[in-house]
Structure 1
Amino acid sequence: MKLRELHIPEGGFEQLKIILEDWIPKEASIVVAIGDSYVYLAQSTQHNHLKLREKVLPDSIAARVLKTRRKTDKVIDQSIFDVPYYVVGYPLTIDDLEAALVIVLPSIFFNENQPYKFLTGRQNEDWSPVPTDQISHIESLQKRTWFYALNEQYKTNITLKELERRLPEQFIRIHRSYILNIYYIQKIKKDLASNFVVLLKNGVELPISQTYLSHLRSVLEF
């Protein structure tokens, strides 16, 4: 399926690219698939030596998104450029046609020891990649993980245990249910029962458990 058959102005995809560039790494490439074909590519400098396949292969992330109409978490896929890359797929509707948006991440994401630069969060049926420096804290509640950024709440499938291991060093565990970004701390105080609590700059108050208090004291030197 050719781009001209979609009745979408060429600038429509470029507007999508401009919006996404505020949320994804500049080294990432953006691919859109409709039906059995890729119809758009915004190629980063990291991938500009690679050639995009014309057809969507049945075992690709794009094919999975088109079939399930669900976001597909980061996986290694070599069906787009013939070499393996980490990708994230999202369902879209374009010109009343079901489409798949695929973000091809840079090579650095192969290294599992690298800290997360962003988390992809869900709100209703929408997914948003959120830079970690915008995240104030993360919560485990009712067997689900939620993170908070710019006064918005997002759900993620990543556990607190994995997040504790992979988040940048400014994130610290303070409770079995909470991880916080120390840059968002306004002050640490004691409540009426003489338990330590942390007040964030956005007004949120979180408990500090005895299990994590000594480590927090060591990091913040108080």
Structure 2
Amino acid sequence: MNILIIEDEARIARRLQRMTADFFGNKPTQITICDSLQKGLEHIADHVPDLLLLDLNLNGDNGFQVLEQMVAAAFHTIIVSANTDKAINAFAYGVLDFVPKPFDQDRLFQALTRFVNPSVKPDAGIKYLTVKTAGQVRLISITEVIYIKGAGIYTELHLKNGQQELHDKSLGLLQQLLPDGFERIHKSYLVNLQQAEKIVINPGTRYGLLLKTGEVLPVGRSKYKDLKNKAI
């Protein structure tokens, strides 16, 4: 587990480091502190973390530059900042949580629990997924997403307009961010249940999910019971 802290106040950085180490206990964890925006960006370029703890005000530099450059990066970000007025914008970039300063151990542990446990969602799931294409950042409303397909270490967003967008986060990471209306029906598929019509049973007891578009996606055997209980 590689964790990066970008925080310019040494006292707060050490506090974050200590609390994070306490949270993970005996689990092997490497925690690195960078005290400036530039050092943080250079570290990410050389050593992609599993989790980033990021302040937004870094000696006058804007921590949002990290989010803008790593917009769909394959790691989660938790903002730790006194700039609570920036929370809505931060969530638009797909951060896992926003911990306001001053913070205590319980609040930080709550955010870290969301990182390790996919079933623990933010209070209100994200409303947008952010993609970066040809150097431009775009926000895609999750209401426009029909389903998400795993594509190796990436994912494909399949949209109502028939287009597909590539996202750098894995299915597992996106599952942690998306609201409960998205269901993992298969190891390779996350579906917006509002776009589902019915479950179909094919010969050989193979299950599928018929979408409003007419497309049928596979349903894993272990997922069938849970999906059936959703009253599709």
TM-score by length of structure 2 reads 0.50
Runs (4+) of structure 1 moved beyond 6 Å? none
Deviations 1:59-107 (A, max 9, x none): 4246668xxx9454666486xxx8356579xxxxxxxxxxxxxx5669x
Which residue, 154, 158, 161 being the options, matches 1:148? 158
- Shift of residue 203 of structure 1? 2.9
Distance 2:90 2:171 in 1: 25
Distance 1:161 1:119 in 2: 15
CA spacing shift, 1:86–1:144, aligned 2, 3 Å: farther
CA spacing shift, 1:63–1:124, aligned 2, 3 Å: closer
Which residue, 127, 134, 140 being the options, matches 1:117? 127
CA spacing shift, 1:72–1:87, aligned 2, 3 Å: farther
Which residue, 211, 222, 225 being the options, matches 1:200? 211
**Taking every aligned residue pair, what percent have the same amino acid on both sides?**
20
Higher strand share: 1
The yes-or-no answer on 1:137 pairing with 2:139 is: no
CA contact (8 A) 1:175 1:208 kept: yes
Aligned to 1:83: 83
Aligned to 1:16: none
Aligned to 1:189: 200
Deviations 1:181-217 (A, max 9, x none): 1110123212344311112112322100101111111
- Shift of residue 158 of structure 1? 2.7
Distance 2:219 2:66 in 1: 42
Which residues of structure 2 form unaligned runs of 5+? 1-57, 100-110, 112-121
Count how many residue pairs are aligned between Structure 1 and Structure 2. 145
The yes-or-no answer on 1:177 pairing with 2:179 is: no
Distance 1:72 1:163 in 2: 13
- Shift of residue 133 of structure 1? 1.7
Which residues of structure 1 form unaligned runs of 5+? 1-55, 89-102
Give the counterpart letter for 2:209 in structure 1.
V
Give the counterpart letter for 2:143 in structure 1.
D
Aligned to 2:46: none
CA spacing shift, 1:190–1:122, aligned 2, 3 Å: farther
CA contact (8 A) 1:188 1:196 kept: yes
CA spacing shift, 1:77–1:169, aligned 2, 3 Å: closer
TM-score by length of structure 1 reads 0.52
Distance 2:91 2:131 in 1: 17
- Shift of residue 168 of structure 1? 1.5
Structure having the higher Rg? 1
Distance 1:183 1:217 in 2: 14
Aligned residue runs from structure 1 range 96-115, under 5 A: 103=89, 110=98, 113-114=122-123, 115=125
Give the counterpart letter for 2:156 in structure 1.
W
SS in 1 for 2:213: coil
Deviations 1:33-60 (A, max 9, x none): xxxxxxxxxxxxxxxxxxxxxxx96742
Distance 2:186 2:62 in 1: 39
SS in 2 for 1:214: helix
SS in 1 for 2:230: helix
Higher helix share: 2
Distance 1:123 1:202 in 2: 26
